[in-house]
Amino acid sequence: MLSIGLLFIGLICYGIYWAFFDMNRLPTGELIEQSNSPYGKYTINAYVSSGGATTGYAVRAELVSNKNSKKKNIYWNYREENADIVWIDDETVKINGHVLSLPNEKFDFRRE
């Protein structure tokens, strides 16, 4: 009975994470900025999206590996409409003041 209860709680926790915090489920948005790293290893595509009349704009940025075209979301911030992308080097980027070490670091306002 205890293991069934723990399994049920685990499924509920995963469902909440999947529905509200998974960066792979972010809205697509409209492309506003595209920037290549200094030596062409990565491209960052930034999008702005609106949640409708009751929420503000948000910026999402995806990292594209130019080697294999693999994409992943690395940036999500609410109440922004523009993306200021500055490359520090080929694996470090600053997006709207948030410095990210690529390819593994991400910024998500919901986790700050």
Residues 6+ apart with CB under 8 A from 47: 28, 29, 30, 31, 32, 59, 60, 61, 62
To the question of pTM greater than 0.85 for the whole model, the response is no
Residue appearing with tokens 């409409």: 81
The 10s digit of each residue's pLDDT in 49-67 is: 886 667 788 898 999 998 8
The 10s digit of each residue's pLDDT in 2-47 is: 888 888 888 887 777 666 666 666 667 888 999 999 999 999 999 9
